[in-house]
Amino acid sequence: MIPALTLMAFLTMTSAFSAPKNKPAPTSKKSPTITLKRLAKERGLLVGAAVAVPELFEDPVYEKFIRNEFSIFTPENAFKFDALRPSRDAFSFETPDKMVHFARLNRMLMRGHTLVWHNPAALPNWFLKGKFSAKEKREILKDHIQKTLTHFKKAAKGAIICWDVANEVFHHDGSYRTDSIWAPVAAPTANAFLTQVFNWAHETDPKLKLFYNDYDIELPGPKATAVYNTLKALKKAGVPVHGIGFQMHQGPDRITDLKAIRANMRRFAALGLQIHITEFDFKLKDSEPKESALEKQALAYADAINLCKSIKACKAFVSWGITDKYTYVSRDNSGMGRANMLDFELLPKPAYYALRSALSKKADRRD
Ligand code: 9MR
C-alpha cells in the first residue's frame, strides 16, 4: 500500500502540472494556473462542489479556493424550501442572490438544489405543522416552483443552468415514497408526481435543464431500476426531464465494480438524459489509519471523475462539500467523517491531487 504522502508526491510528480526540474514554477500573472476547472474544461466537464453559507462570505480561504478551482457550484442548503420560505406567503432571496452575484462575478455556473424534497430537515415549521390538505399542498408547491424559478430567471441571468427539480422520491427498495409530505400534490404514482412538478418547472423557465436527483442509484439494483423505468416512461410521454443526478455519497468502502456503474449510467444516457455526479463525497471511519484511508479516498475520487470522463453524457462532477472543516458528514454519520478534498485546515488532501491527476489525462473512451 502506498502511504498517503507518497501517493500525493506520486500524483504531483506524474501529472502534467508538475514544474519541470531545475525550472522555477511559473509565477507571472500571465502564466496559466493549473486548476481543477481548467483541467476539467479540457475534458469537456464542469467541476465543482456544494457551497455553504455563511462560510462563503466569512472565510476568505474557503472563498478563494472555490473561486480559483471550480467552474460550477451547488448551494448546499441556501436554495432549499426552508431557506427560501420564511412563511407561506413570503420568499427570502437575499442570501441566494448574494451567491448568484458571487457566481456571476467569477464567471461560475450554478446548479439549483432543490425544488421538491420531502426531508423535514429542509422544510420549515410553518409547513411541517400546517396540516395542509392535498389541494393546499398543490397550491403551495406550484407557487414555490413558479415564484422561485421566475425570480432566478431574472436574477441569475443564465448563471443557474439546471435545477434538481425533484430529490429522492424513491425508497431504497425502489418503491415510490407515498409517505412523502409532498406525495398528495399529484398522486398516486411517482410518474404522476414527477410529470406535474417537471411541467411546472419547464413552463416557468423553458431554458433550464431539469434534473431528477437521488442517492444509491449508481450501482444497478431495485432503486436504480425504479428511477430508470420512471424516467424512461416520462421521456416517452414527452415530460421535460433533461438530466439525472447521481449523488454518489460513498465510503468507507471503495466500490470496485466500476464497470457496473458505467453500464448503469449509460442506460440513463441512452434515454437522452444528461448526467451529473451531483453530491460526491467519500466518508472515512474515524478509526481508520490516516494514510491508508486517505489513499483509498483519493482513488475513489479518481474513480468517480474517471467515470464521468468516460461517458459522453456526463457533463459535471460536483462534490458535496469541500473541506472537512465545514461538513454535514460527522453530524449525520456517527464515527465517520473526513469525506472532502480539503482537510480541517483547508489544505489539499490526496483526494484533491487525485482529481487533478485524473483530469489531466484524456479518457481512454468517451461514449
Ligand atoms: O449537507 C446538507 C446538510 O447541511 C443539511 O442539513 C441537510 C438538510 O437540508 O441536507 C444536506 O444535503 C443533502 C442534500 O441536500 C440532498 N442529498 C443528501 C445531502 C446530505 O444529507
In whole angstroms, what is the distance from residue 321 CA to residue 53 CA?
A: 11
- Closest atom of ligand 1 relative to the 114 alpha carbon: 15
The per-residue pLDDT for range 299-321, each reduced to its tens digit, is 999 999 999 999 999 999 999 99
**What is the mean predicted confidence (pLDDT) over 335-356?**
97
Please say if the pLDDT value at position 30 is more than 60.
Answer: no
Contact 23, 284 (CB under 8 A): no
Q: Grid coordinates representing 44? A: 469537456
Q: Indicate which atom in ligand 1 lies nearest the CA of residue 119.
A: 8
What is the pLDDT at residue 330?
86
- Stretch 223-235: mean pLDDT: 98
Closest to 361 in 3D by CA, of 302, 297, 319: 302
pLDDT digits (tens, 9 = 90+) for 136-155: 999 999 999 999 999 999 99
End-to-end C-alpha distance for the chain, whole angstroms: 33
Which of 77, 82, 329 has the most ligand 1 atoms within 8 A of CB, as the residue to mutate? 77
**Residues with active-site annotation:** 168, 279
Q: Is 218 helix (H, G, I), strand (E, B) or coil?
A: coil
Q: What mean pLDDT do residues 165-181 have?
A: 98
Distance CA 280, CA 294 (A): 15
- The cell 459522453 sits on which residue? 312
Pocket of ligand 1 (CB under 6 A): 76-77, 80, 119, 121-122, 167, 247, 279, 328, 332
Distance 184 CA to ligand 1 centre (A): 23
Q: Whose CA is nearest to atom 1 of ligand 1?
A: 328
CB 116 within 8 A of CB 176: no
User: How far does the centroid of ligand 1 lie from the alpha carbon of residue 122, in Å?
Assistant: 8
Query: Under DSSP, is residue 48 helix (H, G, I), strand (E, B) or coil?
Result: strand
Q: How confident is the model at residue 32 (pLDDT cuts 50, 70, 90)?
A: low
Residue among 320, 331, 333, 336 whose CB has most ligand 1 atoms within 8 A, to mutate: 320
Does the pLDDT at position 20 exceed 70? no
Q: How many CA atoms lie within 13 A of 218 on its CB side?
A: 27
CA angle (118 as vertex; 122, 316 as ends), nearest 5 = 75
Provide the CATH topology of domain 7-360. Answer: TIM Barrel (3.20.20)
CA-proximal residue: ligand 1, atom 14 (nearest): 76
Report yes or no: 51 and 326 within 8 Å, Cβ to Cβ: no
pLDDT-based confidence at residue 26 (cuts at 50, 70, 90) = very low
> DSSP character for 78?
T
Q: Which residue shows C-alpha cell 479540457?
A: 42
Q: What φ, ψ does residue 124 adopt, rounded to 5°?
A: -80, 160
Residue 18: pLDDT over 50: no
**362 CA → ligand 1 middle, Å:** 33
Average of pLDDT values for 247-269?
Answer: 97
Residue 276 is placed in which grid cell?
451529473
d(CA 250, CA 12): 25
Cell for 124?
420549515
The residue whose CA has the least distance to atom 16 of ligand 1 is 167
Using an 8 Å Cβ cutoff, are 47 and 359 in contact?
A: yes
Kindly report the pTM of this predicted structure: 0.92
Q: State the average pLDDT over residues 66-73.
A: 98
Per-residue pLDDT, 24: 42
| Three-state secondary-structure class, residue 242 | coil
Calculate how far, in angstroms, residue 32's C-alpha sits from the geometric centre of ligand 1.
Answer: 35
pLDDT value of residue 365? 86
CA 50 / ligand 1 centre spacing (Å): 10
pLDDT range class, residue 29, cuts 50, 70, 90? low
82-116 pLDDT, tens digit each: 999 999 999 999 999 999 999 999 999 999 999 99
